[in-house]
Amino acid sequence: MLIIALFLLIPLGLRYFTSWDMGRLHTRLVRQDDDLRQLQARLTGIRGDLIDTRRRLRKYQVHKPFLGAYIRRERQRLEELQSLPRRERIAS
């Protein structure tokens, strides 16, 4: 009789332990899946910021020569205005 009880209880105990362990692992998997989604969202945001930064950098690199020429031209204009006689100066 004891042997029959052990043959019934051992498989039931193993089945209970296995289902409990699988439930624990499933909970852990769901938690890690949520963490993965959050990290993927952050990565997508960072990639978007990186693309915007590169685009802005290229824009400034393209406009750099034009801005330098514009600054030089305005400095020359300022020097010309400063070299005018005092009564011919334009009021600021």
Structure tokens at 56: 């802005």
Cβ neighbours of residue 89 closer than 8 Å, sequence gap 6 or more = 81
Whole-number pLDDT of residue 81: 86
Structure tokens at 33: 């899946």
Q: Is the pLDDT of residue 5 over 80?
A: yes
Mean predicted confidence (pLDDT) in 61-81: 89
Domains of the chain, by residue range, sit at 47-80
Among the listed ranges 29-33, 40-44, 57-61, which one has the minimum average pLDDT value? 57-61
State if pTM tops 0.95.
no
